[in-house]
Structure 1
Amino acid sequence: MPEPSLPPSTTVPLARRMATRLRMKHLALLLAIQQQRSLTRVAEQMATSQPAITQALAELETLFGAPLFTRSARGMTPTALGELVLARAQTMLADLDHWALDIEAVKQARAAHLHVGVIPFLPGRMLAQAIGRTRPRGRRITVTLHEDTSDHLLARLRAHELDCVIGRTSAILDMAGLKHTVLYQQEPRMVAHRRLAARLGRKPLQWAELTELDWVLGARSTPMREQITDFFLRAGVEPPLPFVESLSAKVIGELVAANERAVSIVPADVAEELVRIAGVGMVPHRFGWTLPPITLFQRKGGAQYEEQRLFAQALKEVCAELAAA
């Protein structure tokens, strides 16, 4: 009597089953369920019937060998396995978007399209020079810059939404799955309205008097803001409450240039750009401390195509030149 055959799920490796049965539309379906939390709403969104959606989800759960969602009165919630599958699905769809942009770039006789995360207080000259020097096989790359804080950008880097991040190192950052290269250090400089900067530059800074000015500062919990707060506290003075908070160096420059009582502290290379572009004044005072270093973050795993490597090399060269200057 022949032995009963085992179910396919136990005889065929999962990786092979996924390669032959998993489709991109399945990934989009899973993310839609996570977002809508209702198969009825997913069916409406995808212009199909609810039984078809239910069957597709059942096939996926059979493929993975366990439920991906739990159903309750509050809607559908991912299981532990579902959370893992959703994270991978989001990453794969992000890679697909980047692939499409790369194809469009090549069609236009350009190289691949890069998504680069940048923190706000970086000199535009540095980014422009690094991008300009990246010419794989004599072609220019195309780039989308995504501006945010380091922690948010690194989360997007791990999710494959970004190719690399130019941010700041910090002991509290989650570095799992990432590698980093320190590029250069930034010193802080005080910028103010031109007349105010000239007046502040005639004598040593009086921190108690500075609290009475109109401060324009970056958002709370950023390295720059924390350093400024710490500097006032070490001087025995209550830190000032800013009249404007902004992560945009350009906005800070415009606000300072237009207000004779306005003052801010920004990295020295950014301060030099604001002097040239916004017409602010720079106070000739050295604070004696540096900000956490500007750093290039990349993913450890996965392939890195030529354009990414060339951009990283160009960035390192430009930053070395800036540091030397």
Structure 2
Amino acid sequence: MIDPRVKYRHVQCFMEVARKRSLVKAADALAITQPAVSKTLKELEDILKVRLFERSRKGVTLTQFGEVFSHYAGASLAALSQGLDSVAQARMSGESYLNVGVLPSVAARIVPDAVRAFQAENMETTLTLITGPNTFLLSRLRGGELDLVVGRLADPAQMAGLAFAHLYSESVSFAVRKEHPLLAEEKPDLGRIVDYPVLYPTKEAVIRPYVERLLIAHGVTRLPKRVETISNIFGRTYTLETDAIWVISSGVISRDIAAGDLVELPLETIETTGPVGLTTRADAAPTPALLMFQSALRASAEQKSMQL
């Protein structure tokens, strides 16, 4: 944690003296008096409790402590300057574009609030949201067509050249209409789902391996009335109108559950829990717009987590 007594003027003054090797020349460059430079350096040395410069008739030279501090202080000032320039360029560059791939679970749960917060910053950025299977989105990210993918962490084989930042974790739900016969049972058996139509994730769906392992662990190896789909519209409509069981990420149906339209079967699904986060190209420098949208997504995810 940075000592709150260390101010920007301390670091700026230190770096100018280190560059000029002279209090007088540093004072001229900073447009302040030499006594002001000396006073500022003295304050910084008192805070750090070390001598940063050796003073002589020939000027000033860095001590060993000064060399160490110079390395990090210079990097900090450079980063701050770059950050200020990036924000200024973002404000002045006019309309830009940000292409984001989102899995259905995050599209329903955290993206709406993040988009509202992002647009409130008046970035003049056209935001394009694309949804689809995880493999499809990651391939477009890797090819440069997308700037960001928001969804579950993919298998290691699919993450080559990509970077992942965790937001939260979510599990898979078995959702039904509120009049479903299984809800009359005090403790439904997972094996009973074979008696009903099951809306099942497709092979491209990132949650499918989690679901397969869960079912196998409970002795379910065959679903005679299985329909594989990634369509949320079809899944929601069909589940509301039939006795189907919809196997889906909890984030997709969170609003339906809250409204009482759908109900989660009281099954133990902790084994299906997986990390959800932000996937980007590891070698691509983020734009100011991308950084701001990522920040909005983190804030939305944190807010949703606090509400649970």
TM class by shorter chain equals 0.5 to 0.7
Residue in structure 1 matched with residue 221 of structure 2 by the alignment: 238
**Percent identical:** 21
Residue in structure 2 matched with residue 217 of structure 1 by the alignment: 200
Given that 1:110 and 1:142 are in contact with CA atoms closer than 8 Å, whether structure 2 keeps it comes out as: no
1:190-228, CA deviations, whole angstroms, 9 ceiling, x for partnerless residues?
21122116x425322223322110111121253322222
Larger gyration radius, structure 1 or structure 2: 2
Given that 1:120 and 1:248 are in contact with CA atoms closer than 8 Å, whether structure 2 keeps it comes out as: no
Residue in structure 2 matched with residue 160 of structure 1 by the alignment: 144
Question: Aligned partners of 1:248 and 1:172: how far apart in 2?
Answer: 26
Residue in structure 2 matched with residue 36 of structure 1 by the alignment: none
Residue in structure 1 matched with residue 74 of structure 2 by the alignment: none
Residue in structure 2 matched with residue 274 of structure 1 by the alignment: 256
1:295 CA displacement: 1.8
Question: Aligned partners of 2:120 and 2:190: how far apart in 1?
Answer: 51
Change in Cα spacing, 1:290 to 1:218, as seen in structure 2 (3 Å) is closer
Given that 2:108 and 2:251 are in contact with CA atoms closer than 8 Å, whether structure 1 keeps it comes out as: no
1:146-190, CA deviations, whole angstroms, 9 ceiling, x for partnerless residues?
112222212211211001111221334432322110111012222
1:53-91, CA deviations, whole angstroms, 9 ceiling, x for partnerless residues?
xxxxxxxxxxxxxxxxxxxxxxxxxxxxxxxxxxxxxxx
The alignment's TM-score, normalised by the length of structure 1, stands at: 0.60
For residue 180 of structure 2, give the secondary structure of its aligned residue in structure 1: helix
1:228-263, CA deviations, whole angstroms, 9 ceiling, x for partnerless residues?
22222111232314542211223211110011x211
Runs of 4+ in 1 over 4 A off after TM superposition: none
Given that 2:133 and 2:206 are in contact with CA atoms closer than 8 Å, whether structure 1 keeps it comes out as: no
Q: Larger deviation: 269-278 or 311-320?
A: 269-278
Written as runs of structure 1 = structure 2, the 5 A alignment for 1:99-248 is 111-135=95-119, 138-139=122-123, 141-196=125-180, 199-200=182-183, 202-248=185-231
Letter in 2 for 1:126: I
Change in Cα spacing, 1:221 to 1:308, as seen in structure 2 (3 Å) is closer
1:317 to 2:299 alignment: yes
1:267-293, CA deviations, whole angstroms, 9 ceiling, x for partnerless residues?
223222233679323323342324321
Question: Aligned partners of 1:288 and 1:177: how far apart in 2?
Answer: 30
Written as runs of structure 1 = structure 2, the 5 A alignment for 1:242-321 is 242-259=225-242, 261-275=243-257, 279-321=261-303
For residue 105 of structure 2, give the secondary structure of its aligned residue in structure 1: coil
Size of the aligned set, in residue pairs, is: 218
Question: Aligned partners of 1:135 and 1:195: how far apart in 2?
Answer: 40
Question: Aligned partners of 2:158 and 2:194: how far apart in 1?
Answer: 34
Work out which structure has the larger RCO, using CA pairs closer than 8 Å and 6 or more positions apart in sequence: 2
1:111 CA displacement: 4.5
Question: Aligned partners of 1:220 and 1:295: how far apart in 2?
Answer: 21
For residue 157 of structure 1, give the secondary structure of its aligned residue in structure 2: helix
Question: Aligned partners of 2:135 and 2:157: how far apart in 1?
Answer: 6
Question: Aligned partners of 2:253 and 2:306: how far apart in 1?
Answer: 18
Letter in 2 for 1:262: A
**Alignment RMSD:** 2.8
Letter in 1 for 2:219: G
1:127 CA displacement: 0.8
The alignment's TM-score, normalised by the length of structure 2, stands at: 0.63
Q: Larger deviation: 173-182 or 283-292?
A: 283-292
Change in Cα spacing, 1:111 to 1:128, as seen in structure 2 (3 Å) is farther
For residue 219 of structure 1, give the secondary structure of its aligned residue in structure 2: coil
Letter in 2 for 1:117: G
1:84-141, CA deviations, whole angstroms, 9 ceiling, x for partnerless residues?
xxxxxxxxxxxxxxxxxxxxxx99x974221111123334241111111114853454
Unaligned 5+ runs, structure 1? 1-105
